[in-house]
A and B are shown apart, each in its own frame.
Chain A
Amino acid sequence: MLDNQSNHTPIAVGDGAAIPHKSDAGLFTAWRIAFFGSIVLCLFLAFGRPDQYMAIFKFVPDGILITFKVTLGAIVLAIVFGLIAGLGRISSNRFINGTASLYVEVIRGIPLLVQLFYIYYALGRFIKIPDMLSAIIAMAFCYGAYMAEIFRAGIQSIPKGQMEAALSLGMSRRQAMHQVILPQAFKVVLPPIGNEFIALLKDSSLVSILAVSDLLRRGREYASETFNYFETYTVIALIYLIMTLFFSKLISIMEERLNEGR
C-alpha cells in the first residue's frame, strides 16, 4: 500500500483516518461542518439540556486526559519501535532483517484487541508492568509494526542515487543514512505518521478493556450506573470526533508547511 506512493499523493489512504486536503473541496467542507457542528452540539447539550448532559461532561474530563496520555505515549514509543524495525527491514544483515520482518508479520497478523489482552493479562503473569504503561506498550508494539513499514517505504522512496552520491563523497554508510537519507525520508513519512496518530487516537478506546480509565471507560462507568446510554454515548462519540477532527486539521496544516519547504 505504501510502496507505491508517489510525491503527488503524499498520504496513503489508510484505515479510515481521513485528513482533508484543501484541494478536496467536498471533504474540506464536510470537515468544517462536522467540526464546528459537533462543538456547537456539545455546547447546546451542556447548556441547553444541563440536567441530562452537564453531569456527563463533568464526569469524563480525566478520561480525556488519559486518552491523550495513552495516545501520545504510544505514538512516541511506536515511532521508536518503527524506526528500529524499519531500519532492520532494509538491513542487509540476514539476522536483523529476519527478526524485524518477523516482528512486522507477527504483530500485523494479530488483532490489536487480542494483543492488548495478551500483553496485559497473559504476560502480566510473568512480568509486572503498571496498568497505564502496559496499555501504552501494547499499543506501541502494535503500531510499531505498521510504523516500520512506513519508515521502510519512506527510506526506499529516496532515490538510490542519493546514497551512491553520499558514498562517493566519502561518507560512511551510517553517515549517509543519518545525514542524507533519513532527513529526506522523514518528510515523506510525516503525513502517514500523522494518519497513524489519528488511527491510534481512535484505537486507544480499546484500552478501556484493560480497566484503564480512558474516555470510553469513563463513559461506560457513567452509563452503567445511570442507565443514560443514549446521552452518554452521544457525548463520548462527539468528544472523540472533535479530537480526531482537530488533530487531522493540525496534521494537514503541518503537511502543507512541509510541502512549501520542498
Chain B
Amino acid sequence: MKKFRFLSVAALLVVSLSATAMAAPKSIKVATDATWPPMEMVDSNKKVVGYDIDFLNAAAKEAGVTVEFKNTAWDGIFAGLDSGQYDAIISSVTITKERQAKYDFTDAYTSIGQILIVPKTDKTSKTIADLKGKKVGSQIGTTGSMEVKKVAGVESKTYDEIGLAFEDMAAGRISGVVCDEPVAAHFALKKKEYNDKFKIVGKAFTKEGYGIVVKKGNKELVALLNKGIKSVKAKKIDTKIHTKWVK
C-alpha cells in the first residue's frame, strides 16, 4: 500500500511536471464486468472493449498511467476491490449513496438513466408499474434491479448477466427488462436476433452518473483519475468515444 501511495504521488508529480503525460511508469489494475455492451464487453478477439474501456484508457493517458483490465463477474466485483485484487472498478457503476458509504467514487464521467424494454407484442405497458403481477428481469445488484424492487406487485428476477435476462424475455419467461439506456439500445435495437422482438418503452426514468470506484480512502487514485476525466472532457475526447460506441 505504501509503495502504491508513493507511486501514485510520483505519478501525480510527473503529470504536473511534464505537459506530455507519458513518462509515468505506473500501471493500475481495473476490474470490469464485460457483459454490459456497449459499455464493456468481450469482442471476437477475446479482448475487453467498449465505451468505459476507451474512456478509461483515454483518461489514464491524460493522467499518465497505464491500465490493465481484469474481466470480473459483476456480483463479486466489489468484494474483489475489498480484498485488493485490483485498484479500481470501471463497469458502468452508478454513483449511489449506498455505494458511496462503502467505496469512494471519482466524479461522474457520463450520465445515463434506467429504461424499460418489453416484447413488441406488449402494446399497453408504459412503466414498470404496468407490469404488476408479472416478472421483470434485471442484472443482480444493479440500479436497474433496485428500481424493479421498488415497484410493489412486480416480481423481480435477477440475472448474473443482462444478456441472460434478454434471452429469457425472448423465451417468453419474463415480461420486461430494466437496464441502462445504452445497454437497452444495444440489445433492443442493434442486435438482429432481438430487434424484431423487443422495444424500448418511453424515456429513461432515472438520472444517474457513472463513476469509477476505488477503495474507501484511496484519495490519491481518485484525484489522479478525476484529473484524467476532466482532461478527457475538456478535450472533448469523450464525445468521440460516445459516437464510436453509443451512437
Q: Measuring CB to CB, which residues of chain A are less than 8 angstroms from any residue of chain B?
A: 121, 124-125, 128, 130-131, 209, 211, 213, 217, 220-221, 223-227, 229
Residues in B with CB closer than 8 Å to A130 are 173
B82 CB within 8 Å of chain A: yes
Are A229 and B140 closer than 8 Å at their CB atoms?
Answer: no
B159 CB within 8 Å of chain A: yes
Looking at the complex, which of B122-130, B161-169, B238-246 is the stretch in contact with chain A?
B161-169
What are 28 A-B pairs at a CB distance below 8 A? A121-B167, A121-B168, A124-B167, A124-B173, A125-B170, A128-B171, A128-B172, A131-B157, A131-B168, A211-B158, A211-B164, A211-B165, A213-B157, A217-B158, A220-B140, A220-B158, A221-B141, A223-B75, A223-B141, A224-B74, A224-B75, A224-B78, A225-B145, A226-B98, A227-B78, A227-B79, A227-B82, A229-B79
Complexed CA–CA distance, A220 and B76 (Å): 9
Please name the residue on chain B nearest to A131 by beta carbon: B173
Q: What is the minimal beta-carbon distance from A223 to any residue of chain B, in angstroms?
A: 7
Given contacts A128-B173, A213-B157, list 14 more A-B pairs with CB under 8 A. A121-B171, A124-B173, A131-B168, A209-B160, A211-B157, A211-B164, A217-B140, A217-B158, A220-B75, A220-B141, A220-B158, A221-B140, A221-B158, A226-B98
Range for the number of chain B residues in contact with chain A? 20 to 34
B102 CB within 8 Å of chain A: yes
Complexed CA–CA distance, A253 and B156 (Å): 40
Q: Measuring CB to CB, which residues of chain B are less than 8 angstroms from any residue of chain A?
A: 74-76, 78-79, 82, 98-99, 102, 137, 140-141, 145-146, 157-160, 164-165, 167-168, 170-173
Complexed CA–CA distance, A229 and B76 (Å): 9
Please name the residue on chain B nearest to A122 by beta carbon: B167
- The residue from B74, B75, B98, B137 contacting A211, defined by CB atoms under 8 A apart: B137
Are A227 and B168 closer than 8 Å at their CB atoms?
Answer: no
Are A225 and B141 closer than 8 Å at their CB atoms?
Answer: yes
Please name the residue on chain A nearest to B74 by beta carbon: A224
Please name the residue on chain A nearest to B137 by beta carbon: A211
Complexed CA–CA distance, A76 and B181 (Å): 44
Complexed CA–CA distance, A68 and B115 (Å): 35
Complexed CA–CA distance, A100 and B199 (Å): 45
Please name the residue on chain A nearest to B135 by beta carbon: A131
Residues in B with CB closer than 8 Å to A209 are 160
Instruction: State whether A225 and B157 are in contact (beta carbons under 8 Å apart), knowing that A131-B173, A211-B164 are contacts in the complex.
Output: no
Residues in A with CB closer than 8 Å to B167 are 121, 124
Q: What is the minimal beta-carbon distance from A243 to any residue of chain B, in angstroms?
A: 23
Complexed CA–CA distance, A35 and B187 (Å): 48
Complexed CA–CA distance, A221 and B145 (Å): 9
Are B173 and A224 closer than 8 Å at their CB atoms?
Answer: no
Residues in B with CB closer than 8 Å to A121 are 164, 167-168, 171
Q: What is the minimal beta-carbon distance from B213 to any residue of chain A, in angstroms?
A: 11
Please name the residue on chain A nearest to B171 by beta carbon: A124
Q: What is the minimal beta-carbon distance from A86 to any residue of chain B, in angstroms?
A: 32
Are A211 and B159 closer than 8 Å at their CB atoms?
Answer: yes
Please name the residue on chain B nearest to A222 by beta carbon: B141
Interface pairs A-B: 6 shortest CB-CB:
A224-B141, A124-B171, A229-B79, A224-B75, A211-B157, A211-B159
Complexed CA–CA distance, A211 and B75 (Å): 13
Please name the residue on chain B nearest to A125 by beta carbon: B171
Are A224 and B157 closer than 8 Å at their CB atoms?
Answer: no
Q: What is the minimal beta-carbon distance from A39 to any residue of chain B, in angstroms?
A: 27
Complexed CA–CA distance, A193 and B203 (Å): 54
Residues in A with CB closer than 8 Å to B170 are 125
